[in-house]
A and B are shown apart, each in its own frame.
Chain A
């Protein structure tokens, strides 16, 4: 078995033996695109041809010791490398569509973001194929279905799907030829088999997943879930064990090599490859599906200890305690690339949104912690990012009269919140139909049963469900700021509203005393304080009402999320100082938790506050970040505490939770001596990174979180 660092090196030192340099692939993709546009070909067809060109010409490598064929030079997707032609074409088309169809809304979304107010987009990055169908059909099955549909009723969509599926098969065959050339006849045989039939062994099934991953991401959509891993691949493992092809030990080694590929590709510099585990099986009565493959995969995860892949566990009352305990021990070791999902709560949220009970067993977190139905849902979970704290800033806008009472101030906040949300949703709606013009996705659509039955691309909402997520960020900043105004201006009369405006405009300069009061004395979100919690509840209820009822181009409509990932840094950088003691330009609160340093009652207080919210109203996800000092979670008691914490939070109605255990001193030392802390990883938001790879702003943000410092 190769060690993770050897796999990483094997990627970095890969000798490519086929295909063209990246710049030539990018130029070729552009040529195919230009020709398609010139000839007036339907864009989905052009898009499939671009895919075929990229897959046909990207450089490939295979090493003597590789367990899978998986090294593909595919930076043409990523504009960071200056050769991201597919990403560039997406960007150009998105802008052209927006300027054509809603120029004012497009201009407004840019100006609203510059104010830290909201951001809307056509979110192409939160998708998952139907892994069950992909594994059952294999490449030939997908081709056969596509050709049959195309023969029966030819459309640009069916033509694009046929082209994409053939490109998939040609890619497998080209990789097989490369393997043969390099003397890896074993891998070549696997790839040839996958071109001819569905996978039969675990190795074949995993190899197919790797190929598909490259194909879909080359098409232009990130694979934001690899499905419910232990359920999908168990039959393959069991067949191999029964036939004597694998032992548990050799299967575990294979899984280490498989998962390591995802780390080697990204080295923690993207949002991680997401794999889901556990949870209820289809059918009644409900039974948890954790199995021997769950244990093998988690052991492989622990062996690897890398930022990617990232794992999620669907937790229900029947989840084996030993699995949670194993996850807790990984966290103790700093291998914390994982999130826990409250399955019963997510099911409740999905039922509320009209999803069929029979589909709920296929719930997966898409991306970080956004629930969706695998293979049946187009979930653009970041269609809109909305800042709940911006309307507080508006209270202090130039020329706005000072509110006479707290009630008036509060009412004005809610009115501004409603105004902004309506505006953001109206623009987000215009983006919903744009995906089809930006990046039709025949490969992804080919895996989805309903897309094929209806003859519609995912971007035309061919899936059974289509939803748009509205990410609501900055709850703690909003609540704490409003209650600071109430306490300081109205209850204690410490400062007039107009003087407060001047203080905030000056970013608290000369008024550190007031800022310290704002940080330490008023009621705060996340302490179980009844006033703060009731206000948070009202904000969330209003936002959820508006979001759920907003007109949407999609059948599933808009749905609220209560999280921020690291958008809270970007949002904050565009905001003035806020009354909660926050300085201008600094991040607003993270995800659904308390402001750093304001959780005076510790995690129990945060859980108490969160339990006052109805998380079933956040079908786009809601996550709590828990930062604990390493000594707190050490030893037997620490591991049991983590398990107990997850169980209790979920019993009280929380939705997702993940953990960091970091010492601020160690993080500061890592800033000073990065080489020594090369492998120190942190759970940034919904993914893990190596701390030393973060920019200074992100590093300082994590240090503040670790030291619980709001100052």
Chain B
């Protein structure tokens, strides 16, 4: 049960109430042209290149056993990259980075708990992305672990293909999930959430939504 993580940002203020840590997962069923976290589109690890740091020294090309780096000017032949990380280590200026590392919920827990005292007065942990509900079971497990420490949780989801997973997630029916309690589901982009008579939920039209776990 793993979550591919693109980045963990500490003391975020705009991903839910209060002061939070935000986990950006990799992988999304949508490919919106305006996506502001494009490194989160693919679920697989990727080599990121910060061109403002690159001096064109060619150390990456020397270090790469697969011929994926072309120097002068620097370019990456991604079809050759095997994500071995040798270029990352060789770059003196920190211009290369492998984005995407798998974490189990248990491995994420201590990382997210480092700033637990910052979450007091309304903050907590947000799982964003990418599409967190591609990994609904693992995220639900992570939330159960964090809830065990009294951490308040938020996740945001695209709703495009993950609604079914979300219902499992919210109602705790996913394997290992022990979530109970109250949830706020806020639909955005015009969608409405209907509470059905049988206690189930239905999204009126496909659309994004945010789950706040109380």
CB of A644 within 8 A of CB of B14, answer no
| A494 to B, closest residue via Cβ | B92
- Write the nearest CB–CB distance from A526 to chain B, whole angstroms: 13
- Write the nearest CB–CB distance from B55 to chain A, whole angstroms: 6
User: A269 on the interface (CB 8 Å rule)?
Assistant: no
Q: Which A residues, 639 to 671, have Cβ-Cβ distances below 8 Å to chain B?
A: 640-641, 643-645, 647-648, 651-652
User: B193 on the interface (CB 8 Å rule)?
Assistant: no
Taking CB atoms, residues of chain A closer than 8 Å to B53 are 516, 520
Query: With the chains together, A647 CA to B10 CA distance in Å?
Result: 17
Q: Which of B10, B19, B114 contacts A644 (CB 8 A)?
A: B19
Asked, given contacts A513-B55, A651-B117, A652-B117, whether A644 binds B123 with beta carbons under 8 Å apart, the answer is: yes
CB of B93 within 8 A of CB of A644, answer no
CB of B121 within 8 A of CB of A512, answer no
Query: With the chains together, A605 CA to B53 CA distance in Å?
Result: 22
CB of A645 within 8 A of CB of B121, answer no
CB of B10 within 8 A of CB of A512, answer no
User: B120 on the interface (CB 8 Å rule)?
Assistant: yes
- Write the nearest CB–CB distance from B76 to chain A, whole angstroms: 20
Asked, given contacts A520-B94, A604-B11, A632-B13, whether A512 binds B117 with beta carbons under 8 Å apart, the answer is: no
Mask for B144-166, Cβ within 8 A of A = 1, else 0? 00000000000000000000000
Q: Which A residues, 499 to 541, have Cβ-Cβ distances below 8 Å to chain B?
A: 512-514, 516-517, 520-521, 528
- Write the nearest CB–CB distance from B196 to chain A, whole angstroms: 34
CB of B115 within 8 A of CB of A604, answer yes
Mask for B5-45, Cβ within 8 A of A = 1, else 0? 00000110110011100000000000000000000000000
Q: Which A residues, 582 to 614, have Cβ-Cβ distances below 8 Å to chain B?
A: 601-605, 608
Asked, given contacts A517-B92, A604-B115, A644-B118, whether A512 binds B55 with beta carbons under 8 Å apart, the answer is: yes
CB of B120 within 8 A of CB of A513, answer no
Query: With the chains together, A645 CA to B10 CA distance in Å?
Result: 12
| Interface footprint category on B | 20 to 34
CB of B122 within 8 A of CB of A640, answer yes
Taking CB atoms, residues of chain B closer than 8 Å to A521 are 92, 94
- Write the nearest CB–CB distance from A98 to chain B, whole angstroms: 48
| A492 to B, closest residue via Cβ | B89
Taking CB atoms, residues of chain B closer than 8 Å to A516 are 53, 55, 92-93
CB of B11 within 8 A of CB of A637, answer no
User: A638 on the interface (CB 8 Å rule)?
Assistant: yes
| B94 to A, closest residue via Cβ | A520
| B14 to A, closest residue via Cβ | A637
- Write the nearest CB–CB distance from A595 to chain B, whole angstroms: 15
User: B57 on the interface (CB 8 Å rule)?
Assistant: yes
Taking CB atoms, residues of chain A closer than 8 Å to B117 are 648, 651-652
Taking CB atoms, residues of chain B closer than 8 Å to A603 are 11
Taking CB atoms, residues of chain A closer than 8 Å to B55 are 512-513, 516
Taking CB atoms, residues of chain B closer than 8 Å to A643 are 121
CB of B13 within 8 A of CB of A641, answer yes
Mask for B111-136, Cβ within 8 A of A = 1, else 0? 00011011011110000000000000
Query: With the chains together, A526 CA to B143 CA distance in Å?
Result: 29
CB of A641 within 8 A of CB of B19, answer yes
Which of B94, B118, B123 gathers most chain A CB within 10 Å?
A: B118
| B92 to A, closest residue via Cβ | A517
Taking CB atoms, residues of chain B closer than 8 Å to A637 are 13-14, 17-18
Asked, given contacts A632-B13, A644-B123, whether A513 binds B118 with beta carbons under 8 Å apart, the answer is: no
B: which residues have CB within 8 A of A?
A: 10-11, 13-14, 17-19, 53, 55, 57, 92-94, 114-115, 117-118, 120-123
Show 11 residue pairs from A and B whose CB-CB distance is below 8 angstroms, ordered by the A residue: A513-B57, A521-B94, A602-B10, A602-B11, A604-B114, A637-B13, A637-B17, A640-B18, A641-B18, A643-B121, A644-B123
Closest 7 CB pairs of A and B: A517-B92, A604-B10, A520-B94, A516-B93, A637-B13, A648-B117, A604-B11
- Besides A528-B114, A637-B17, 19 more A-B contacts (Cβ < 8 Å) are A513-B55, A513-B93, A516-B55, A516-B93, A517-B93, A521-B92, A521-B94, A603-B11, A641-B11, A641-B13, A641-B18, A641-B19, A644-B18, A644-B118, A645-B11, A645-B19, A645-B118, A647-B121, A648-B120
